[in-house]
Amino acid sequence: MKHAMDKKFNLRKFLIILLVVITVGAVATTLFVLLKNSDDPDAIPEFAPQDTDNNAEAIEDDDDEEKLEASEGGGAVSMSYSKEVSISLSEKKASIIFWNPKRSTMDAVLQLIVISGEQEAVIAQSQLLPAGYKLEKMDLLDTAKLSAGKYSGKFNILYYNPETGERAVVNTNIPVDIQVKE
């Protein structure tokens, strides 16, 4: 009788320890993923960011409900942009023009990159820019180290399927001129 009770007690103890280990493991994994992402803010996301960018605005008078034709498994985007970028260091913002109209079948994520010789540095990266939205401001990353002057740079535009969130195998680079002011 006593032996049976001990066995039951040991099993319960084992199950509690197992649950504690699983819980600690899950918490550790979650923390690792969160910290890893916050350490690497310019990493290209494999899947579409959950949040629409804070600076994204709906394009006014964008009444074109007809999407561009995209073959199965492919995509189509219509983009309007300016090659001039102005950065205010005091505001920690970049003034840009990039439109992703409703005609696009893809959502977008924008990276602003400064180029110096062979070196490239991401200085701003948007959250999601859904079709029908424009971006005229980008928040500079904390890691962006710039001083006043003129720079060469580029937009790197990544596209995401709005239904599956998967990143497309096609991306776009647009060379831009960057003017940095205090």
Partner 1 sequence: MKKFLVLALVAMLVLSFGSVSVLAANPIITATGSDSADVKGTYVEGSAASAVYSVDLEWGALEFTYTDAGTGTWNPGNHSYSGGAAASWACDDPGVGDKIKVTNHSNRAVIATFSFAPESGADFAAITGAFTGTGITSNAATLGAGVVGQYATAANVTATLTLSGALGSSVNTQTTIGAVTVTLSVPG
Half-sphere exposure of 145 (CA within 13 A, CB side): 4
Interaction of residue 122 with partner 1, rule CB under 8 A: no
Interaction of residue 71 with partner 1, rule CB under 8 A: yes
Q: Would you say 146 and 87 are in contact if contact means Cβ atoms under 8 Å apart?
A: yes
Task: Extract the tokens encoding 67.
Answer: 């999407």
Least distance to partner 1, CB of residue 42, Å: 17
* 4, 94, 176 from 9: Cα distances, Å: 9, 64, 69
Contact stretch for partner 1 (CB under 8 A) within 2-10, 35-43, 69-77, 139-147 = 69-77
Q: Using the rule CB under 8 A, which residue among 52, 86, 95, 171 binds partner 1?
A: 171
Interaction of residue 118 with partner 1, rule CB under 8 A: no
Contact stretch for partner 1 (CB under 8 A) within 54-62, 68-76, 87-95, 117-125 = 68-76
| Residue nearer to partner 1 on the CB measure, 35 or 70 | 70
Interaction of residue 76 with partner 1, rule CB under 8 A: yes
Interaction of residue 173 with partner 1, rule CB under 8 A: yes
Question: CA triplet 122, 124, 130: central angle to 5 degrees?
Answer: 120
How far apart, in whole angstroms, are the C-alpha atoms of residue 12 and residue 62?
Answer: 63
